[in-house]
Structure 1
Amino acid sequence: MNTVTRPRILVVGAGFAGVECVRRLERKLSPDEADVTLVTPFAYQLYLPLLPQVASGVLTPQSIAVSLRRSKKYRTRIIPGGAIGVDLKSKVCVIRTITDKIVNEPYDYIVLAPGSVTRTFDIPGLTDHAFGMKTLAEAAYIRDHVISQLDLADASQDPAERAARLQFVVVGGGYAGTETAACLQRLTHAAVKRYPRIDPGLIKWHLIDIAPKLMPELGDKLGRSAQEILRRRGIEISLGVSIEKAGPEEVTFTDGRVIPTRTLIWTAGVVASPLMATLGAETVRGRLAVTAEMCLPGHDGVFALGDAAAVPDLAKGEESAVCPPTAQHAMRQGKHVADNVIATLRNRPMQPYTHKDLGLVVDLGGKDAVSKPLGVELRGLPAQAVARGYHWSALRTNVAKTRVMTNWLLNAVAGDDFVRTGFQARKPAKLKDFEYTDMYLTPEQVRAHVEGTARQD
């Protein structure tokens, strides 16, 4: 008796790109046309742009963690874990599950959307003493940590310790760093009213970046507006400056300043997931080099997109231009690559990806924001309305939209209770403890593992 096996489509990553791809595959493919599998440690899509608002307590963690199992059409099999290697020749993806079991997952078509990880440099003490802002756990942890510094400073009898605990350093003048510094400064500014023994003048926030401008993508005028807003709030901005070394109780800047602090938040950019290096294929600054159709040249059935792929930006008309690693591109690429996978399944021609950037929004908390939708520069309340309206509309489910809107309204009316939820254990967790970047295999290890398990079978 002949058994007909359905094509196996494996999607790696549940970010904007991966989730949009899976949703479109579910809608457009009949159940007997293909089997769809998704590899992700968590069965939710994280709405990353609102992470600073979780850290500052404006939003609850659950409100930006959008469940993947809510859709009535949901039929995708989820493997709870992370891909740590891909053998293109054998068409096998090596996965480490959340219980640390290593399994091989064969595929006919693979969509690589593992996203990015925090970019770090060889700075002494950085990974041991800095916090990241890339995951939901990190955002919740940082909120606990910041509030605990206020609690400890309020209780301390040592003026030097009190001053150190009330200094906070954020490295990275991009969107993540700027919004993180802005939102957390508002948190401490509002919280200090509940701490009568703390001098508000002791609370100091530092935002530093090696670049000469803050958020250069916004342009000179809006970039200066954002700087003015932050400086008016008392945030000290240092450009052309980075970290020379980090310790448990102080940070040394490259300009020689030594800042006593217990809080170093590192948001100085991202790099493509280390998974891309396991393929042994060509990369562009760590991102997998793909065609405009988001295919890997020379390998049938291999697609890559989002932060981990250097997708040509045809809308710019420049030969070397690649799409920036933004949610806006990732969501559209996810839908487009799903259409190309379906086209391949049905022996139809694939289409190149092209999308003109719609603009940028930066929420600085409260009534402060700067936005540039379709090239129009906005500040203040109009910019805030555009920023929050864009984020709200981009949330995937009505439940998530309701939670976020309710959180915004409740925070605006009632404020914050500054409660620590207990994420901060006695042993502190830092940058190296959240992203597990040391778990990936080399291309040689991937091939050896796949060949070894094949012999055992």
Structure 2
Amino acid sequence: MKTTRIVIAGGGFAGLYAAMHFNKRLARRADVEVTLISRENFILFTPMLHEVAAGDLYPGDIVNPLRRILRHMKFIDADVQAVDLNARRIHCIASVADRELEFEFDHLLLTLGSETNFFNMDGVRDWSVTMKSLSDAALLRNRMVALLEEASLQNDEASRRQLLTFVTAGGGFSGTETTGAVNDFVRETVRYYPQLREELIRVVVVHPGNFILPELGEELGRYAERKLRERKVEVIKGPRVANYDGVVVTLSDGTSIPAATLIWTAGVKPSP
């Protein structure tokens, strides 16, 4: 009996939901072999990463092991390197020893997701903070605490303001939610630093469109902007971030914002 081999490359939302469908409908059939290949052995609920960064959720609250979800199909923890469509083979690297693996397939579902797009801006790529993984969220949280500590040791007010300025590039879902989480965390935490004043904190979101949250439409976008402004967040619309050198954020209209942190949520591109 010929076995039909189905390979799903990528364990994000699309790959997981396809795998769950096959796990329910096909995985117990003797003539079908379903394999999911993912670089992580868990699914990460990325829309709530900002809550981990702000300390409102533990990392374990937004992850779920793939092996626990998919009990009737084959799972491989590996990074897809290449696909040979003519030979119907997929090449992967797995484990800490960089073991090379190869799988044959009759049907291939590519759900490799996206990666951050820095639009060829080397400074932004080298110096900015992203929000795509648990390590990104942990890094941002640790960075906010470290900058508060560093600012408390500074005597120069301009240096303190620069350390406590947080700029987010991109006013979509990720950028807006992360901005709100950063703003709440820093303003709530600064009261434990008697050397610092809340007035030193500056939180800015830069969005090239006419309103933030374009996914939700203009009415809700302008409502969200009003709520952010009420919480002392600056919303800059029109220009986009053009450069960052780790010290100053430069916008496309020439505006310069001294800032120790640039959070980049301004775009993604397909996984190569």
Q: Same fold (TM over 0.5)?
A: yes
Q: Which amino acid aligns with 2:12?
A: G
| Cα distance between partner residues in 1 of 2:211 and 2:220 | 11
Structure 1's 151 and 31: CA in aligned 2 closer, same or farther, altered over 3 A? farther
Among candidates 71, 76, 90, match of residue 79 of structure 1: 76
Query: Runs of 5+ in structure 1 lacking a partner?
Result: 275-457
Deviation at 1:170, TM superposition (A): 0.3
* Aligned residue pairs, count: 270
Between the aligned partners of 2:31 and 2:143, the Cα distance in structure 1 is 49
The one-character-per-residue Cα deviations of 1:200-251 (angstroms, maximum 9, x if unpaired) are 0010001001222212232222111101000111111111111222112221
- Residue 75 of structure 1 deviates from its aligned partner by 2.9
What TM-score, normalized to structure 1? 0.57
Residue 180 of structure 2 is matched in structure 1 by 182
Distance (whole Å) between structure 2 residues aligned to residue 53 and residue 206 of structure 1: 18
Percentage identity across paired residues of the two chains: 34
Query: 5 Å matches for 1:257-296?
Result: 257-274=255-272
Confirm or deny: 8 A CA contact 1:252 1:259 kept in the other structure.
yes
Q: Partners in 2 of 1:74 and 1:217 — Cα distance?
A: 35
Paired position in structure 1 for 2:231: 233
Amino acid across the alignment from 1:198: L
State the TM-score, normalizing by the size of structure 2: 0.94
Root-mean-square deviation (CA, aligned residues, Å) is: 1.6
Counterpart of 2:120 in 1: which secondary structure? coil
Measure the CA separation in 1 of the matches of 2:64 and 2:10.
14
Letter of the 1:189 partner, please give it: R
- Residue 216 of structure 2 corresponds to 218
Q: Determine which of 11, 16, 21 is the counterpart of 2:18.
A: 21
TM-aligned CA deviation for residue 111 of structure 1: 1.1
- The question of whether the paired residues in 2 share the 8 Å contact of 1:91 and 1:106 is answered with yes
1:124 positional shift = 4.2
**For 1:191 and 1:270, how far apart are their aligned partners in 2?**
32
* Contact in 2 for aligned 1:10/1:37 (Cα 8 Å): yes
144-153 or 209-218: which moved more?
A: 209-218
Q: After superposition, what is the alpha-carbon deviation per residue over 1:411-430, rounded to whole angstroms, capped at 9, x for unaligned?
A: xxxxxxxxxxxxxxxxxxxx
CA contact (8 A) 2:168 2:265 kept: yes
Question: Counterpart in 1 of 2:196?
Answer: 198
Partners of 1:221 and 1:24 lie apart in 2 by 37
Separation of aligned partners in 1, 2:259 and 2:22: 49
3-state SS of paired residue (1:66): strand
Question: Residues 151-177 of structure 1, C-alpha deviation per residue, up to 9 Å, x if partnerless?
Answer: 111122333322111000100011110
- What is the alpha-carbon distance in structure 2 between the residues aligned to residue 104 and residue 46 of structure 1? 26
Cα distance in 2, alignment partners of residues 32 and 107 from structure 1: 16
SS at match of 1:230: helix
Does the residue aligned with 2:121 lie in a helix, a strand or coil? Answer: coil
Q: Give the AA of the match of 1:8.
A: R
Partners of 2:80 and 2:164 in 1: CA distance? 40
Distance of aligned partners of 1:124 and 1:15 in 2 relative to their CA distance in 1, 3 Å threshold = closer
User: Matches of 1:220 and 1:18 in 2, distance apart?
Assistant: 32
1:429-455 superposed Cα distances (whole Å, 9 cap, x missing partner): xxxxxxxxxxxxxxxxxxxxxxxxxxx
CA contact under 8 A between 1:173 and 1:215: conserved in structure 2? yes
Q: Which runs of 5+ in 2 are unaligned?
A: none
Q: After alignment, is 89-98 or 222-231 more displaced?
A: 89-98
CA contact (8 A) 1:124 1:244 kept: no
1:176-203 Cα deviation digits (max 9, x unpaired): 1011101111111111111111110010
Within 2, Cα distance between the matches of 1:124 and 1:272? 19
Greater fraction strand:
2
Q: Aligned partners of 2:114, 2:157: CA distance in 1, in Å?
A: 41
